[in-house]
Amino acid sequence: MCENKQAPPPTRRTFQERAIYVLAGLLNGALGIPALAYIFVPAKGGQTEEWLEAGAISGLPDGRPTEVSFKRTRVDGWRVTNETATAWVIRQGNSITAFTALCTHLGCAYHWDHEVEKFECPCHTSFFSKDGSVETGPAPRALDRYETKVENGTLFFGTVVEGESV
């Protein structure tokens, strides 16, 4: 092998440069990948899937949307709380529809307007008809609903089903 004695051997310089990049790359990977997982992978625990009791159906007027409150357990990071939530429920004979309480546009609470017979969101004036479909306004989809069931005259809410897109 012939090597230049004056300058440092080029092979060693190349080796050192490569080693710096490889080691720094490994290091950044070993830190960066778990860090991204830590930030973006959802936490293991979560909302428990169960039927939530929402009172007796006998109190619900026939055909008129009524705001019903119910208790639910909310898992919020390290905090587990018992909170009161509401839903808009319409009983028509034996069929029951329950809409979640928030507008599908940007999450404001909407209300039933008795005079115009529509759900009205005060934030950006989205209007929904009694069956939850969008009539006017910026809402991108019909109102979301809870799965419902009735046992011994008591109403239960299940999982949320997203409303149909406009």
Partner 1 sequence: MAPFIEQALEAVDERTGLVSFVKEFFAEDIPASSGWHQVFGSIAMFLFQIQVLTGALLALNFSPSPPEAYLSVQYIMNELTAGRMMRGLHHWGASAMVIVVVLHMIQVGVWGAYKRPREATWMVGMVLLLLTLGFGLTGYLLPWDNKAYWATVVTTQISGLPPIAGAWTKEFLGAADGTVGALTFARFYTLHTMLLPLLTVGLIVFHVILVRKHGVAPQPGDENKPTKKFYPGQVFKDTTAIFIVFTIVFLMAVMIDAPLEALANPADKEYIPRPDWYFLFLFQILKFFPGVWEVVGAVILPTIAIVALILLPFIDRSRIQKVSQRKLAMGIAAFGVIAWSGLTTAAIMTTPKIERPQATPAQLAGAQVYEANNCSVCHVVNGVGEMIGPPLNGIGARQSKEEITAKITNPQGTNPESAMPPYALPPEELDNLAEFLMSLH
Which range, of 18-26, 111-119, 128-136, 148-156, touches partner 1 by CB under 8 A? 18-26
Give the chain's largest Cα–Cα span: 99
| Strand ordering across the sheet containing 95-100 | 52-56, 154-161, 145-151, 95-100, 79-92, 66-76
Note whether 125 and 116 are within 8 A (CB).
no
Residue 4 touches partner 1, criterion: CB under 8 A: no
Instruction: Return d(Cα 163, Cα 111) in angstroms, integer.
Output: 17
How many positions of this chain bind partner 1 (CB under 8 A)? 29
Q: Would you give the binding string for partner 1 spanning residues 73-112, x where CB under 8 A is met?
A: x---xxxxxx------------------------------
The residues in 27-56 that bind partner 1, with binding defined as CB under 8 A, are 27, 30-31, 34-35, 37-39, 41, 43-45
**Residue 11 burial (C-beta neighbours within 10 Å; 0-12, 13-18, 19+):** exposed
- As measured in angstroms, the least distance from the Cβ of 145 to partner 1 is 25
Q: How far is CA 91 from its chain centroid?
A: 26
- As measured in angstroms, the least distance from the Cβ of 146 to partner 1 is 19
Residues lying near partner 1 in the complex (CB under 8 A) are found at: 8, 13, 16-17, 19-20, 23-24, 26-27, 30-31, 34-35, 37-39, 41, 43-45, 71, 73, 77-82
